Structure 1
Amino acid sequence: MWHIFNNDNCEEGEIQSLADALIKHYQDIYAPGQVICIDESLIPFQGRLVIKQYIPEKSHKYGVKIFKLCCGKGYTWNLQIYAGKQRDKGASVPTNLVMNLSKDLLDAGRTIVTYNYYTSVELANRLLDRGTHLVGTLRSNRKGNPREVTGRKLNRAKYMAKKMKGVFVW
């Protein structure tokens, strides 16, 4: 357990400065390989905190949610602390998360693996523009999906694919 700051004179952003220092050390120590992964974790926390989350599916239901870029055998290379909903008119929140976490690793022919919260045709196109590939499960109701693929009823062990601007969707 760490208690780093004096509560009487703690300023906003001090936790972020600690996180930035940790991230810099993570990135100095390890060079990621060709395949990287984006995921989230919940750091267990029981006290009072504005950014505390409740996620009933997790073994520790209360804590601080972080988005992570991992490589190798689960090594955290970059992270972002969840501090509330973020809006951006240019792209969806999951797309912005992936692009922000991986910005220093793009344009090198890497492959990013994501699960269905992050995966979208929009993200695949943005990553392809930056010389990076995307592998992930695509939600059928995600905005921008081709109707020919998501509207088809398929038998077990069958698939349907479509190529759109260099992106395969199946």
Structure 2
Amino acid sequence: MRAFIGIALIMGIVRLPGINDYWDTCHKPISQTWFREHFERDRFKLLLKFLHFANNDGMPAQDSQDYDPLYKNKPVIDYFVHVFKRHFHPSQNITIDESMVSFRGRTPHLRQYMPQKRHARFGVKLWCLCDTKTGYTHTFEVYKEVRQGDRSEEGFIYNLVMSDAFDEAG
């Protein structure tokens, strides 16, 4: 699993048009021997196909009030938030920062378009609570499309600051 996760992370750095291109031996300019040495292509694709973090049987329907577009990834997000909070306590000076994670997948409730961002115009927007001295992210929340009934008089940023996600800032 470490090799699988390592390859998935490196695929985010070394960008090629398709998954099969990482194991391609025919095209010398884009040939990546490191991937072939550490993992078989078919095994990687099989693990990628069946990798799940949540039980799909408990997932609410899209038209229900309990629907969460992050349901399948929630255990991983919660784990990272827990680890970030455990390993660092921010100083007195903190800020809420908007960050964009590049993503072109099929998640209409999460995908945002921000033309002012140069490196990642399409992606998933995160609201991060960061330490101003070190830039360390203490916690974060994924921005989800606001439903009509979820709007409040105070606004989104007020609700974010007052939410449970940011209450343990230190």
Give the structure 1 partner of residue 161 of structure 2: 98
1:55 maps to 114
1:79-112 CA distances to partner (integer Å, 9 max, x unpaired)?
0001111535463211011222431137xxxxxx
Matched residue type, 1:98: V
Q: For residues 30-45 of structure 1, what are the structure 2 equivalents within 5 Å?
A: 30-45=88-103
Match of 2:74 in 1: 16
Residue in 2 that maps onto 1:77 = 138
Q: Which amino acid aligns with 2:86?
A: D
Where is the strand percentage greater, Structure 1 or Structure 2?
A: 1
Q: Tell me whether 19-28 or 84-93 shows the greater mean CA deviation.
A: 84-93
CA distance in 1, matches of 2:124, 2:152: 26
- Higher share in helix: 2
Alpha-carbon distance between aligned partners in 1 of 2:138 and 2:169, rounded to the nearest angstrom: 10
Deviation at 1:67, TM superposition (A): 0.5
1:48 partner SS: coil
SS of 2:101's equivalent in the other structure is: strand
- Cα distance in 2 for residues equivalent to 1:38 and 1:102: 10
Aligned counterparts of 1:83 and 1:5: Cα–Cα separation in 2: 23
Q: Is the 8 A contact 2:138 2:169 kept in 1?
A: no
Cα RMSD for the two superposed structures:
2.6
Q: Distance in 1 between matches of 2:166 and 2:77?
A: 16
Deviation digits for residues 27-65 of structure 1 (CA, Å, limit 9, x no counterpart): 110011111010110000123222111111101210011
- Matching residue of 2:124: 64
List gaps (5 residues or longer) in structure 2.
1-7, 10-47, 60-67
Amino acid across the alignment from 1:5: L
Flag structure 1 segments of 5+ consecutive residues without an equivalent: 107-170
SS class of match (1:94): helix
Structure 1 length as normaliser, TM-score? Answer: 0.53
Matched position secondary structure for 1:14:
coil
Distance (whole Å) between structure 1 residues aligned to residue 126 and residue 142 of structure 2: 4
TM-score (norm 2): 0.53
- Distance in 2 of aligned mates of 1:103 and 1:23: 13
